[in-house]
Structures are given as C-alpha cells and as structure tokens.
Amino acid sequence: PPAPGTTAARTDPDAERLLYQIMLDPLGDEPYEGYRHVREQAPALLTSDGTLALSRFDDCEHALRHRALGKDDQVFDPKISDTPLNRSVTLVELFSSSMLFANPPDHTRLRRLVSSAFNTRHVQDLRPAVTGRTGTLLEALAAEPGGDFITTVALPLPVNVISDLLGIPEADRMAFTPKVHALVAALAPTADQECVLSGERAGRDLIGYFSALLTDKRAHPADDMLSRLVASREDDALDDQEMISTAILLFIAGFETTTNLLGNGLNALLNDPGQFRRLREHPELIPLAIEELLRFDPPVQFTVRTVLEPVTLAGADLEPGRMVLPLFAAANHDPERFDHPERLDLGRDQGSHLAFASGLHFCLGAHLTRLEAEVFLHFLVTRYDIERSGEAARRPIYMLRGFERLPVTLTPRP
C-alpha cells in the first residue's frame, strides 16, 4: 500500500458497488471484510457522483481536522436504491440548528454552552449514580434468564443517565425511545414509505415534547442542564430553535450510540472467550478494553463532511459542495495503524481510534460513555457469569451499528 499521505483518489466501480452494498445491507453481520476490500482496492474512492470516500486511518483523520471541510445538512445517499434518501423530517433536520451540523463561529457558541458538563471532572461526579443504576439493571437481567440485554440493560442505562443530566422526567424518558428508533430507521436508505411517515411523526412528537419541556424549565427551573440552558443570559445564549435542537441532540446522542457500544462490546466479548477470560482475570484492563471495543465494532460507522473551500485531497481537486466520507469502520481496521486489526486484543495500546471522530466535532459525550461502559464492564466481569441464550439480531447498519436484541443468561458468581 502507498505511504501515508500519498493515497491517490480514483474511481473504481467495483469498490463503489461494494461500499454501497455494505452500507445498504441492513443485516450484514461483518462489514469489516468488505471495508478491507474497499480500502485495498481504492483507499480514496471517488464515487460516480463525485463523493470522496476515505478508508485509511491517516486520510480520515486528516480530513476530519481539515479547515476546508465542514458541516452542511447534506445526507450521503448511496445511489444504489431506487428511492432517494428521505429528506423530510430526519434526524438531520432535527439537529440542523445544533452543534452537530454547525461550523465555526456558530459551532463554537453552540458547543461552549454545554461542553463543561461533559468534561472529565463533571462526568466523574456521576459515578455513584451510574453505579447504582447499573447494579439495579443487571440484577433485573439476572432475574430473567434468557432476557434481552438490549432492552433490559443497554438501552435503559444510558437513557436514564442522560435524562437525569438533562432533567427529563422519569415518566417520559423511556416512552420516547421507540420514537427515536423510528426516526433513526427512517434515515436508512432502505426505509419504505410507512417507515418514513412514522419517522416524521416521531420527529414532530420529539420537537413538541422538548419545546414544552423547555418552556416548563423556564417557568420552574431545577438543578439540571436544560434549566441552565434556558436560564443562560450570556451574549452567546441560544435562540429557541437552537435550544430545542440541542436538547434533542443531547438526548438522542446520549443513548443511541452508547446502547450500541454496550451491545457491540458484549457481543465481541461473547465471541471471544479467551479475551473475555483475560478481562475477568485482569479487570485493570477495562479502560484499554473499552477503547479496543470502540475500535473493533464502532457504533458510528462513518460520517459526512462537505467541502467548504476548494481543496485538494488525495490528489483530487474538490470544489465546495462536494462530499467527503471518513469511513471510521474502515479506518479503525487499517493495518497500517493497528497490528492485526481483525483481532480483538483487549490490552491493545496503539493510540486512538476514530470511533468518536476527530477535530472540532470530536464526540462531546466520550467521557460519559466511557464511564458507563467502565461501570458496566466492572460489574459484569467481577460479579457475573454470562452466556448467550438465543439468536441475536442486528439493527439496520446504515451509519449507526448495533443490536436490536441480544438474549443472554446472567448468573451471579457465588
């Protein structure tokens, strides 16, 4: 393979077809082999509509940090399906006034107002609460042999943690998770008309709910993040739409991906008993193991950037408006960066992966997710034995990757 920085962009119809196939196959269980072919055939792939898809680690990182690239509300649409990707009320539209789709200076303003709550120190204050929640949820799962790890633990844990932080009433939080799932499902290129309509309804319900909640916080402030957000009197305070967008972004990003990390991580451990045993014998490896699980099966498989100013990447001259896809799933398995990338190695210490992206949009919730994963894994390896007890099922793979169902039996250690 060429040396870092010297990837030459090129078209390759076979690699393009393969890439779209990976993105569109909702049940494909092992995208990494496909991504390996794409990376080997065309590491900087120019698709037929001029998008540049990057699958080498260094190229992805370079693009994510490049100031000529930024955000736009474009959605990458693999042109393989007959129906164009749904652009009505998608996640993108809900988030369009949030930091996720903003560039500086708006990005700076939108992120700064909430960012300190997610720094290491503030997140560590949540440890006792996260520990309490996790212990209770695992007890519930242990009481139900053959129960579903996703619905009993992986979903309610992060939903409750982020909801406590934001100040979403107990009675409402879990009730909104099916709506978020409907929204995410509607974004998939394979979504049919019915799915799209249900996603739109869910989007409207979320907007309605969060605008009412923010109004309520303004009238009855409590000790939570949404109350602080509406009370903010700084010059750079957010307008109403930005607040709603931010609240919805934090709620959805706060659990959707963490659920997938817990599910993908547990699945990887169950598939590799040797590594699982290693973690039981060496719980001190847990922090490294979390990074390895994030690298190995990332909950966010790729992202999209838009060219803001003319730029040359991998030898290709790109005009404003063109899209660039950093393929995290491929970059995290790049053998130039990680030795034997297909191997799960819980003690691997080879530097950062791209599961949380890089640059200005680096995941705001990284410390929070790490805390949740750490507490969960600690309980699991020190207190329980676990085995599969039924068929697991993946969720649609487009952009977000996780499990719909992961049945297990959890037995407390004597």
Q: Where are the beta strands (DSSP E) in 249-377?
A: 305-307, 311-313, 316-318, 323-326
Task: Choose which of 89, 243, 244, 261 interacts with ligand HEM (CB under 6 A).
Answer: 261
Task: Choose which of 152, 160, 190, 257 interacts with ligand HEM (CB under 6 A).
Answer: 257
Q: Considering CB under 6 A, how many residues would be counted as binding ligand HEM?
A: 23
CB-wise, 142 or 268, nearer to ligand HEM? 268
- Residue 203 to residue 182: CA distance in whole angstroms: 9
Minimum Å distance from CB 337 to ligand HEM? Answer: 17
Minimum Å distance from CB 23 to ligand HEM? Answer: 16
Does residue 129 bind ligand HEM (CB under 6 A)? no
**228 CB-side CA count, 13 A:** 11
Does residue 365 bind ligand HEM (CB under 6 A)? yes
CB-wise, 142 or 243, nearer to ligand HEM? 243
The window from 6-14, 135-143, 356-364, 375-383 that contacts ligand HEM (CB under 6 A) reads 356-364
Lay out the site mask for ligand HEM across 40-79 (x = CB under 6 A, - = otherwise): ----------------------------------------
Cα distances (Å, whole numbers) of residue 30 to 101, 220, 341, 383: 29, 49, 14, 31
Task: List, in order, residues 6 or more apart from 87 with CB less than 8 Å away.
Answer: 75, 93
Report the candidate in 303, 292, 294, 300 with the shortest Cα–Cα distance to residue 54.
Answer: 303
Task: Choose which of 34, 254, 263, 396 interacts with ligand HEM (CB under 6 A).
Answer: 254
- Residue 203 to residue 88: CA distance in whole angstroms: 10
CB-wise, 253 or 279, nearer to ligand HEM? 253
Task: Choose which of 52, 126, 191, 250 interacts with ligand HEM (CB under 6 A).
Answer: 250
Residues 161-200 that bind ligand HEM (CB under 6 A): 162
Helix (H) or strand (E) holding 263: helix 240-271
How many angstroms from the chain centroid is the CA of residue 74? 18
CB-wise, 72 or 345, nearer to ligand HEM? 72
Minimum Å distance from CB 396 to ligand HEM? Answer: 17
Minimum Å distance from CB 308 to ligand HEM? Answer: 14
CB-wise, 201 or 367, nearer to ligand HEM? 367
Does residue 31 bind ligand HEM (CB under 6 A)? no
CB-wise, 142 or 244, nearer to ligand HEM? 244
- Residue 374 to residue 343: CA distance in whole angstroms: 21
The structure tokens listed for 9 are 């962009």
Residue with tokens 């001190």, as numbered in its chain: 284
The structure tokens listed for 200 are 């739109």
Task: List, in order, residues 6 or more apart from 403 with CB less than 8 Å away.
Answer: 150, 154, 260, 263, 264, 267, 392, 393, 394, 395
Does residue 333 bind ligand HEM (CB under 6 A)? no
Task: Give the dihedral sign, CA 355/262/336/314.
Answer: negative
* DSSP 3-state of 58: helix
Report the candidate in 411, 26, 391 with the shortest Cα–Cα distance to residue 191.
Answer: 26
CB-wise, 367 or 383, nearer to ligand HEM? 367
Does residue 331 bind ligand HEM (CB under 6 A)? no
Site residues for ligand HEM per CB under 6 A: 99-100, 111, 162, 249-250, 253-254, 257-258, 261, 299-300, 303, 355-357, 361, 363-365, 368-369
